[in-house]
Structure formats: structure tokens, C-alpha cells
Amino acid sequence: MEIRDVFFFDKMLTPTVIAVVYWLALIGVVVGGIVVMISQSFFGGLLTIVFGALFARIWCELIIVLFKVNDALQEIRRK
């Protein structure tokens, strides 16, 4: 990716940022799940980790799909 691509919005920067956001969300979900395991119930914390990780993945994938649609439209426009 060239600097010109970033300044003139020829290439999207956000998909890279989404990957970082996903990993931060996953870390937050695991830490939150462990806190729930310690403070409330082990089973509740386990459910928090499983469903929280699943939700974070689905959310990030949906956002990435929007950018892939944009890339496909840009490719069609170039042709």
C-alpha cells in the first residue's frame, strides 16, 4: 500500500484496522469471561467467552463484507 493510496482513498485502510479491533475485542471478551467466572459463575463466564467470541467474529466479518463489496464494485468500474 502506497501513501498515495491512503491520502486519496484509492485503498481502504479500515479492513486492516478491523483485524486489530477483532483481536482487541477477543481479548476483552476473554478477560470479561474470566472475571464473570471468578465473581459470579463458572458456567456464565464460559458462555460469555464462547458467545462473546462468536459475536465479535460475526460483527467483524459483516463489516469486512461491506468493504469486499466496495472492492468488487471498484473492480467492476475499472473494467
| pLDDT, one tens digit for every residue, the chain (79 residues) | 566 766 776 667 777 889 999 999 999 999 999 999 999 999 999 999 999 999 999 999 999 998 889 888 888 988 8
* pTM of this structure: 0.74
- How far is the C-alpha of 67 from the C-alpha of 19, rounded, in Å? 13
C-beta of residue 60 within 8 angstroms of C-beta of residue 21: yes
C-beta of residue 34 within 8 angstroms of C-beta of residue 42: no
How do the domains of the chain map onto residue ranges? Answer: 15-72
